Structure 1
Amino acid sequence: MTSQQEAVQEFHPRVHAALGNPQIRNNFRKAMDGLMTKRSAAFEGMDLEALRDLGAAVRLRALSRLPELLEQLEANLQKQGIQVHWAETGDQACEIVRDICQARDAKKVIKGKSMVSEEMELNHYLEEAGIEALESDLGEYLVQLAEETPSHIIMPAIHKNTDEISELMHEKTGTHRSKDVDYLTASARQQLREKFMQADVGVSGVNFAVAETGTLCLVENEGNGRLTTTTPPCHIAVTGIEKVVEKLEDVTPLLALLTRSATGQHITTYFNMISSPRKAGEKDGPEEVHLVLVDSGRSKIYQDEELLDTLRCIRCGACMNHCPVYTRVGGHAYGTTYPGPIGKILMPHLLGLEKTQDLPSASTLCGACGEVCPVKIPIPKLLQRLRQEAVDGDSLRPSVVAGHGIKRRKLELLAWKGWALMHARPGLYRFSTRWMARLRGLMPGKLGGWTDYRTPPRLAGKTLQQRLQERQQQKTGGQS
């Protein structure tokens, strides 16, 4: 069992710990309020719904032709000198990256931000192989220094405030304690600058992979992505198979939605378009470029017409920023690579419902995530579907989700069979409801977790049928 699988099984203890930590709650509340305000301002004056419709259409069109577009992407990348590798699982992807590094006798890897590499737990894998992997994104760098995992897919260290970051950098790197954010940022960049020059291999993620042109697009703000993909002699890009889009023009609406939804920016500082290794006469760029396409359960999602919508995600994090549950418990409570609403619909596919059975239920179903999703993923609907998957032990429909029916309990199944039997026989129904009404005083005062903060409902003294009969008798008696 991986560390991620162990963590997600401790979901409830982690939630209670987060709720009891006022610093965590304050950090997230302040950060989420700021991000929601920035997003709203960034879309001001735009026809947001039309843009969301366009973004959703682009993603759906790409997914409808996913196998074909992946083959086209591979062919065009190979024409341009980029080597393409396919990985069915995260472990296979790690092995591919390790083999490329070992073939180059690489000892040091510098990484740009990549959620898929987090999903694969690539850093741990490379360290076990004797290869140092250093995160270059500022947030990821801080999380790595703290020996933690990201708490947000866009802002990995959002759970820490300035004082906590200052203390962490002082302890780990010797910088002075300071509340000056510019000083702390400059210190971190100075520490990382030398690492870029020493790295044998650079590893990055991919935001969009364009099948038509064989282009890998990478969105970032710090310049570390550009250094990671150009300074080391070898660049390895790692991405899920769903990131492919059909045409270069499809990137425009998705980029407009991504940056505004994620950080409230009209455009990020850097937008990298990678199409080949260094060519003859060029002075910079890697000698080799590799793309690792990771499946890791995505092809199973693709087989289900409803759950397929999960693959539309462009990893903006807007659903997290607006989620009342995520805001109160933070990202680490989930114990998964992808926390928040998107994690609750994606991680059951990647890890199975056996390991994630509590995640789909960790939602108020308020609908905020679906309302702000830039590509209109119906997250609440998918959460309901996964809840059904977790308890539906009798469905004749084959499921693509591992762990189907994991939360189905024998006592619950017996109760529902009794309910069905009672409602199928009018005499038994009348007999049962009369006795339930008479014995209502024996009803327990606690009915599971729902009644921890609510008064349990009480059965009426008379059934509806009894009341209707009495009313009819009264009318009949009055007329006579």
Structure 2
Amino acid sequence: MGAGLPAPLGPGGEAVSTYLGMPNVRPQPAHAPAHPLRWGEPFPEAAHETLANGQMRRNLAHATRTIRDKRLRVTAELPDWEALRDAGAAIKHQVMSELPALLVELERNVTARGGHVHWARDAEEANRIVTDLVRAKGADEVVKVKSMATQEIGLNEHLEAEGITATETDLAELIVQLAGDMPSHVLVPAIHRNREEIREIFAGRMADAPAGLTGEPRELAMAARAHLRAKFLTAKVAISGANLAVAETGTVAVFESEGNGRMCLTLPETLVTVMGIEKLVPTFRDVEVFAQLLPRSSTGERMNPYTTLWTGVTPGDGPQEFHLVLLDNGRTKALADEVGRQALHCIRCSACMNVCPVYEHTGGHAYGSVYPGPIGAILTPQLLGTGTKGSLPHHDATASLPFASSLCGACYEACPVKIDIPTALVHLRGRMVEAEQRRPLPTGWATAMRSAAAVMTSGSRFAVAARAAGLGRVAARGERIGRLPGPLAGWTSVRDVPAPPRQSFRQWWSQHESEER
């Protein structure tokens, strides 16, 4: 979808995005990145930095609460909401079960209706295909509809290196692009910015920004609208993602809220769509289910303002050349995992992020991925793979993500297609730990766990360890230990440890038994 909130570029800008309504409290300078993180930094380190950003946390709390409350109101209106979720889950399960045949069917129907289908095994191949298509049209500038797939492959950066300018036309994506920032939310990429920050970005980075621009939502929306209109009217090539494609008919669909997508999908001469291979539905009738699930779950709307569907090429109407790039980039690898593959069911609604306590406090940048939040914690490690750079799985940039959760289950309850994210998180955690155990040389963590297992599987050894632990009272102040030595210092640097009891349970039991006798 687009920025995910009602028509911020509409007449007068009356219905503005949540981030344009953020309170103006201690804005960050537009010339500085919101979070000075290395993209791909392990979650524990990245979260320490984002947690220190009080303004970002206030922005996130305001925005996620607003969207969450709207979603609850509109889903409660439907007596068959749970049945719709079941239907969405069943369709996605069918797609994963029949994916090869459905992809072939989609290619056949797109081609039969005048479109061209390209297959990309990875990001490098997809970027090369798109670049070649743009160059073939003699264009050095393209307009873009918000697309997670193109962010995933780094398409904008690749085009820039090839001398091609890509302009994001979604309001939030435009803000992020002008700021040299990174998206922090699947649906509302600039959710970490408030309106005064956006005013500074527009005034400092948008060449045609009006003089005296204020932080009023209407003025900001109108400035963006004027800036983008010239791009729409001159671009020869547009690049989009896709919310879904129908194998039965070869139809592709984009759901969005601003109208920028409609402009990109109808005005340019050539349209290039980059779509993950999992974004299929078998029949046109299946669109009905997701047309109800997606807007309610993502923006809290009964229906999205703009739904654009196209089937191949129609002479004299819309783009006269259509290219569909089907992107794998790790998806078939994820499909092979019977538990983890459910991450491919995701319809990019962001409902899981808006209810996640971890995401709300750390923000999207801490996840080091274009897919943040709970869904990113199970999708990114499968698409990119994991390494073991540190002594623990959760010290690696991607292997850390399944550990970035409290396992509270709120994400599963919110997911419109019933992805069991908590189960997938535990499954991926198990995979990380098993990979560590297969190392030829055990890590310090593995050695510590084996030592603990040796103690805890023997009553006599456990009794000795319990008596030794009692010596910890020497370091206690009252009933708390504020500092421990050596490798344990990392634990007590952020929390106190309860002092060992004066009498252990074993000691109490022995005394109780002797008194009974």
TM over 0.5: yes
2:180 to 147, 158, 167: 147
* Residue matched to 2:52: 20
Q: 2:428 matched to 1:412?
A: no
Paired residues of 2:333 and 2:383 also in contact (CA < 8 A):
no
Aligned amino acid, residue 370 of structure 1: Y
Query: Displacement, 1:307?
Result: 0.3
For 1:393 and 1:142, the matched residues in 2 are separated by: 40
Cα deviation digits, residues 261-308 of structure 1 (max 9, x gap) = 1111111111111101132xxx33112101111111111110011101
Aligned position for 1:343: 376
> Is 1:314 the equivalent of 2:355?
no
C-alpha separation in 1, matches of 2:66 and 2:408: 20
Alignment of 1:355-434 (within 5 A): 355-393=397-435, 410-425=443-458, 427-434=460-467
Match of 1:399 in 2: none
Secondary structure of the structure 2 residue equivalent to 1:109: strand
Structure 1 pair 462–139 and aligned structure 2 pair: CA distance change class (3 A): same
Q: Structure 1: how far apart are the matches of 2:58 and 2:468?
A: 51
Distance 1:473 1:11, change over 3 A: closer
Q: What's the offset of the Cα at 1:378?
A: 1.3
CA distances 1:26-77 after superposition (whole Å, capped 9, x unpaired): 2111111111111111112213322222211121121111111111111111
**Counterpart residue number, 2:515:** 474
- Is the CA contact (8 Å cut-off) linking 1:107 and 1:200 kept in structure 2? no
Structure 1's 204 and 388: CA in aligned 2 closer, same or farther, altered over 3 A?
Answer: same
5 Å matches for 1:250-269?
Answer: 250-269=286-305
1:401 is aligned to none
Residue 85 of structure 2 aligns with an amino acid whose one-letter code is R
Contact 2:42 2:400 in 1 (8 A): no
TM-score (norm 1): 0.89
Contact 2:472-2:500 at 8 Å conserved across structures: no
- Cα distance, 1:457–1:185 mapped onto 2, change above 3 Å: same
CA change 1:182–1:457 in 2 (3 A) is: same
CA deviation profile, 1:384-438 (whole Å, cap 9, x unmatched) = 2222222223668xxxxxxxx79x9622222332333345555545555455556
Mean alpha-carbon deviation: is it higher for 42-51 or for 243-252? 42-51
- The amino acid across from 2:101 in the alignment is E
Give the corresponding residue for 2:123.
Answer: 90
Give the residue type in structure 2 aligned to 1:16: H
Match 2:228 to one of 182, 192, 195: 192
Instruction: Choose the corresponding residue for 2:240, options 178, 201, 204.
Output: 204
8 A Cα contact 1:221 1:268, kept in partner? yes
Q: 2:88 aligns with which of 55, 60, 69?
A: 55
| Counterpart position of 1:400 | none
**CA–CA distance in 1 between the matches of 2:244 and 2:172?**
22
Structure 1 residues 57 and 450 mapped into 2: Cα distance closer, same or farther (>3 Å)?
farther
Aligned residues: 461
User: 2:76 aligns to what?
Assistant: 44
Counterpart contact for 2:176–2:189, Cα < 8 Å = yes
Name the SS of the counterpart of 2:228 in structure 1. Answer: helix
Q: For the residues of structure 1 that align with 2:42 and 2:445, how far apart are their CA atoms?
A: 24
Uncovered stretches (5+) of structure 1, i.e. residues with no partner: 397-404
With over 3 angstroms needed to count, the CA separation of the structure-2 counterparts of 1:231 and 1:409, relative to structure 1, is: farther
Which residue of the other structure, out of 61, 69, 80, is the alignment partner of 1:29?
61
Alpha-carbon distance in structure 2 between the residues aligned to 1:142 and 1:429: 58
Structure 1 partner of 2:106: 73
Which region of structure 1 is more displaced relative to structure 2, 354-363 or 253-262?
A: 354-363
CA shift, 1:345, in A, is 1.2
- The percentage of aligned residue pairs carrying the same residue is 41
For 2:8, the equivalent position in structure 1 comes to none
2-structure distance, mates of 1:149, 1:394: 31
Aligned amino acid, residue 242 of structure 2: V
Check 1:189–1:473 CA distance in 2 against 1; reply closer, same or farther (3 A cut).
same
Range with greater deviation from structure 2 (12-21 or 286-295): 12-21
The TM-score, its normalising length taken from structure 2, stands at 0.83
**1:139 is aligned with what amino acid?**
A
1:243 CA drift (Å) = 0.5
Q: Which amino acid aligns with 2:285?
A: E
Distance 1:195 1:438 in 2: 72
Pick aligned residue for 1:115 from 140, 148, 152:
148
Give the 3-state SS of the residue equivalent to 2:255 in structure 1: strand
Q: How does 1:327-338 map to 2 (within 5 A)?
A: 327-338=360-371
For 2:343 and 2:100, the matched residues in 1 are separated by 17
Quickly say closer, same or farther: Cα 1:177–1:66, change in 2 above 3 A: same
Contact kept, 8 Å, 2:381 with 2:398, in 1: the verdict is yes
Distance 2:424 2:197 in 1: 37
Counterparts of 2:163 and 2:52, CA distance in 1 = 39
Residue 456 (1) aligns with residue 462 (2)? no
8 A contact 1:208–1:244 mirrored in 2? yes
C-alpha contact 2:43 2:404 (8 A) present in aligned 1: no
Shift of the 285–15 alpha-carbon distance from structure 1 to 2, 3 Å rule, reads same
* Aligned residue in 1 for 2:359: 326
**Alignment partners' CA distance in 2, 1:420 and 1:165:** 54
Where 1:363 maps in the other structure, the secondary structure is: coil
**CA separation in 2, counterparts of 1:128 and 1:375?**
38
Query: Letter of the aligned partner of 1:74 in structure 2?
Result: E
Question: By how many angstroms is 1:460 displaced?
Answer: 4.6
Letter in 1 for 2:513: Q
> What is the distance in 2 between the residues matched to 1:326 and 1:190?
34
* Cα distance change of structure 1 residues 322 and 436 upon mapping to structure 2, 3 Å threshold: closer
Residue in 2 aligned with 1:170?
Answer: 203
Q: Residue 471 and residue 366 in structure 1: after superposition, are their counterparts in 2 closer, same or farther (change >3 A)?
A: same
Deviation at 1:198, TM superposition (A): 1.7
Cα RMSD (Å) of the superposition? 2.5
Summarize deviations over 1:207-240 as a string: whole Å, max 9, x none: 0111111110110122221221221111101111
The SS at the match of 1:85 is strand
2:278–2:344: 8 Å Cα contact kept in structure 1? yes
Moved more, 182-191 or 122-131: 182-191
Contact 1:150/1:337 (CA < 8 Å) preserved in 2? yes
Residue 461 of structure 1: how far off its partner (Å) = 5.4
